[in-house]
Amino acid sequence: MDNLFFILSKLAWGLLSPTNLFVLLMALATLQLMRNKISAAKKILLPTAFVSLVLLAYPVSDYLMHPLETRFSKPTELPEKVDGIIMLGGGEELKLSVGWNTIEIGNGGDRFIATAFLAKQYPNVPVIFSGGNGSLRFDTSVTGGDIARELLTTVGIDNSRLIIESKSRNTHENFMLLKDKLPDPAGQYLLVTSAFHMPRSVGIANKQHINVIAYPVDYRSNQPSFRQWGFNLFEHLEVLEPAWREWIGLTVYYWTGKTSEWLPQSEK
């Protein structure tokens, strides 16, 4: 069932990705024009062009991303004691790393920086990484866990401290597969992942009875006072894509019982 869920989620995103939707709608409108169905083409082109222009001119995608990123915040003071540091995969660029035989990290690379920082604050606790290969068609023996081990040891974390889970393909599998690897199932763990990804991650952790303290990183949206008019479609799409995907993920995970709440939040 988990394998079917993984495959269906990848196929569905191929259709629901905003960028893909724009291309598909333009192709559909072109087909209508070729068939001399001008009215039908206009009904597709006009709203598509309007949305594209708005997205080009203003960071409207921040309105989707910002509520996710402000749901959790870093602790004002780090706890005196934790039983480990959990880092979720996603910062590593698996295909580029394999293709160039080197370590490559992307937007989520802040996860590694934060984990290295926390590892210094808690020098005697294990550093737990969860992440495999989330690609549907890229078949390789190298996993995100392999890249994480090499990178985390490079920044000074002793290999003996690392606990690596390298078979998971999505966030649900992250927690399902690392649960048995935790040194203390009832312990308290700092959780490092992207800020927009934190609500779903905490919801799944709660569902699996894993006690986590959120440590969000990798912010993507502008604060309201920094949002400006401009012409940067690529930058705005870079925020829209993960934000839209995360809202869909939150909804689907809640419907399928994989998370404790639709939009988890920190306890006040």
Sign (positive/negative) of CA torsion 71, 76, 81, 85?
Answer: positive
| 259 domain-assigned | no
Indicate if the pLDDT at residue 90 is higher than 90.
no
User: For the chain, what is the mean pLDDT?
Assistant: 90
Q: 167 by DSSP, 3-state: which?
A: coil
- Lowest-pLDDT choice from 39-48, 100-109, 186-195: 100-109
209 & 79 share domain: yes
CATH at residue 214: 3.40.50.620
Strands (E), 166-210: 188-194
| 202 domain-assigned | yes
| 255 domain-assigned | no
| 18 domain-assigned | yes
121 & 149 share domain: yes
239 & 214 share domain: no
| 261 domain-assigned | no
Output the pLDDT for position 149.
93
Mean pLDDT of 141-162: 90
C-alpha neighbours within 13 Å on the C-beta side of residue 178: 35
Output the pLDDT for position 268.
54
| 150 domain-assigned | yes
* pLDDT-derived band at 133, boundaries 50, 70, 90: confident
Indicate if the pLDDT at residue 165 is higher than 90.
yes
* pLDDT-derived band at 144, boundaries 50, 70, 90: confident
Predicted confidence (pLDDT) per residue in 191-214, tens digit? 999 999 999 999 999 999 999 999
Indicate if the pLDDT at residue 116 is higher than 90.
yes
Output the pLDDT for position 39.
92
Residue 247 belongs to what H/E stretch?
helix 233-255
| 262 domain-assigned | no
62 & 163 share domain: no
Tell me how far CA of residue 215 lies from CA of 131, 196, 235, in angstroms. Answer: 18, 12, 25
What CA–CA distance (Å, rounded) separates 60 from 79?
36
87 & 17 share domain: no
* pLDDT-derived band at 1, boundaries 50, 70, 90: low
Strand pairing class (162-165; 127-130): parallel
What CA–CA distance (Å, rounded) separates 19 from 245?
12
The secondary structure of the chain in percent helix, strand, coil, rounded to multiples of 5, reads 55, 10, 35
What CA–CA distance (Å, rounded) separates 169 from 92?
13
Indicate if the pLDDT at residue 157 is higher than 60.
yes
110 & 192 share domain: yes
107 & 187 share domain: yes
105 & 196 share domain: yes
42 & 131 share domain: no
102 & 190 share domain: yes
240 & 145 share domain: no
* Residue that terminates a domain, selected from 195, 218, 241: 218
* pLDDT-derived band at 103, boundaries 50, 70, 90: confident
24 & 93 share domain: no
| 265 domain-assigned | no
The count of domains in the chain is 2
Predicted confidence (pLDDT) per residue in 242-259, tens digit? 999 999 999 999 999 999
CB neighbours of 212 closer than 8 A, spacing ≥ 6? Answer: 86, 188, 189, 190, 191, 201, 202, 205
Q: Which domain holds residue 86?
A: 74-218
Which pTM does this prediction carry? 0.90
What single DSSP character describes residue 196?
Answer: G
